[in-house]
Amino acid sequence: MKGTIALVTGAAGGIGEAVVRLLAERDVTVAAVDLDPDRLATAVGKLTADGHTVRAYPADVTSSREVEQLVDTVERDLGPIDHLVNAAGVLRLAEAHALTDQDWSTTFGVNTNGVFFTSRAVVNRMIPRRRGAVVTVASNAAGTARDRMAAYAASKAATTAFTKCLGLEVARHNIRCNVVAPGSTDTPMLHGMHTDHGAAAASIAGNPDTYRVGIPLGKIARPEDIALAVAFLLSDEAGHITMHSLTVDGGATLGV
């Protein structure tokens, strides 16, 4: 992957930031994209201070027009994009019948529309070059029902299906599209689900009242664990893998 160019959304924190760091450490030039310009500048500043080639691009992935402008700017600044990582995501917790219109539209705006807009913009430029790899960070919730996570799970299921369909259509252009489906990961999103600061313990133990099993490996994932899976699917080591969903959840969904 040395000498290639990657665009990573959701780059200012959690899994996205870990992906940016890992790719940069492997000598990939990274366009780091996030809605929050201050957090993005801080994250990118740490990486550039370490000598890595990372550029900050504040942008809203829910805007088709803004995404097209973003991709044009990145390719003008850095060169042709070889890798895309869709890591931007939001979570709105509520029982399905209590979700607001805003909860639903915001969740799908980022988790699904954002993936569509960014993938379309990047892949349309990859096709004439006949090369490229896309990885979408979805969730194990895309295939396993979770209490109070209907909007999130539905958006990630849609995103998973979209990425696989895209992969089918662009395989003839030598472009691979895969999904990484994390479970509970040590990120602000996970900790925000638990007001008593017991996110890790609760995830590991599970909760029979909500029909949620625990984590057989007895630990939650680090963002770096997810980043390693993403990097593998982007790399030539995964050169014959496409339309695949790689679950990284410590066994929380029992291999389903």
- Sequence-distant contacts of 208-212: CB under 8 A, at least 24 apart: 210/146, 210/147, 211/145, 211/147, 212/146, 212/147
The torsion angles phi and psi of 244, rounded to 5 degrees, stand at: -105, 145
Q: Which long-range contacts (CB under 8 A, 24 or more apart) does 37-46 make?
A: 39/12, 39/13, 40/11, 40/12, 42/12, 43/11, 43/12, 43/13, 43/17, 44/11, 44/20
Helices 37-49 and 14-25 pack at an angle, to 10 degrees, of 30
Distance of CA 69 to the CA centre of its chain: 21
Phi-psi bin for 155: left (phi > 0), alpha (psi -120 to 50), beta? alpha
Collapse the DSSP code of 186 into the 3-class scheme (helix H, G, I; strand E, B; otherwise coil) and give the result.
Answer: coil
Q: Dihedral of the CA atoms 92, 197, 20, 120 (nearest 10)?
A: -10
Q: Which of 115, 152, 167, 190 is catalytic?
A: 152
**Residues facing residue 83 across a β-bridge:** 6, 133
Decide if 57 is catalytic: no
- The helix (run of H) or strand (run of E) holding residue 76 is helix 64-77
Reduced to 3 states (helix: H, G, I; strand: E, B; else coil), residue 55 is: strand
Active-site residue list: 152
